[in-house]
Copies of this chain bind each other. A is one copy, B any other.
Amino acid sequence: MLNPLRIALERRDRLTAEEVLVVERLVSKPVPVAEGADMVREGESPLHSTVMISGFSARYTTFSDGKRQISAVHVPGDFVDLHSLLLRPMDHSVVALTDCSVVEVPHTLLREISERHPHLTRLLWTLTVIDAAIFRQWLIASGHLPAVGQIAHFFCELWTRLSLVGLTEGRSYDLPIAQADLGDAMGLSAVHVNRCMMALRRNGLLEWRGGRVRILDWDGLRTSAAFDGQYLNLEQRPR
């Protein structure tokens, strides 16, 4: 399988042959991370940034009352903590929502790129600002959409991000996580997530059983979520 980081970058801009070499060198042998294990922990100052190769992970914060808030979900090709190159210490943890494999890219290498490869640096920078755009959309959704809409938005976004790295088949994709995880991400209770999922199913928009998502009515789903994938910047252009 093609290096998903390279796919993510090339989807945003053309890479020179030299840049391809550099990117391929970044992504060395994958390391497995078991479901439920933290790959980065709040308060640490990692010396590398982590790229997802397979599986799903999530950034989260835990509170004194034991609740967990997920602020981002990561799919293959995502840097889960590229910002740790610049910000220290981590203000949140990252957990493997499923069994994952990841590659750890030393900060020394990334810093070297930032010294020697301005264009590639801008592309890495672009990945972080796309991350920010996703946060913004979640924020907007959480402020203005009812729960069903928020959830619909999540499924639309995830389909789009997964299709980028070839992990969709038609309008379906695997998402082997629990409804409660989704609740932690949307700031909703597990019970309410369940009720929303039933509503989506009842309205023929979406099914999610056995860890598999099937979008039955893309336009309906998109509309109910006011989803427009433009913020993901999937166009290849000079950056």
- A238 → chain B closest CB, angstroms: 10
A239 sits at the interface (CB 8 A): yes
> Beta-carbon contacts of A115-145 to B below 8 Å, as 1s and 0s?
1001001100110111111011111101110
B128 contacts A129, CB within 8 Å? yes
B114 contacts A122, CB within 8 Å? yes
Identify which of A15-23, A83-91, A194-202 touches chain B: A83-91
B129 contacts A83, CB within 8 Å? yes
Q: Which residues of B contact A114 (CB under 8 A)?
A: 118, 121-122
- A237 → chain B closest CB, angstroms: 8
Closest B residue by C-beta to A86: B126
A91 contacts B139, CB within 8 Å? no
Copies in the complex: 2
Given contacts A71-B139, A114-B121, contact A126 B230 (CB under 8 A): no
Q: Which residues of B contact A237 (CB under 8 A)?
A: 88
Interface centre among A128, A139, A233 (most CB of B within 10 A): A139
Give Cα A233–Cα B136 distance, bound, in whole angstroms.
Answer: 20
Identify which of A27-35, A61-69, A162-170, A207-215 touches chain B: A61-69
Give Cα A129–Cα B64 distance, bound, in whole angstroms.
Answer: 26
Q: Which residues of B contact A131 (CB under 8 A)?
A: 132
A→B interface (CB under 8 Å): 59, 61, 63-64, 67, 69, 71-72, 83, 86-89, 91-92, 114-115, 118, 121-122, 125-126, 128-133, 135-140, 142-144, 186-187, 226, 230-231, 233, 237, 239
Q: A83-B133, A118-B118 are in contact. List 18 more A-B contacts (CB 8 A).
A: A63-B226, A67-B144, A69-B140, A69-B143, A69-B144, A83-B129, A86-B122, A86-B125, A87-B126, A87-B129, A88-B233, A89-B230, A118-B121, A125-B128, A138-B139, A142-B187, A143-B186, A144-B187
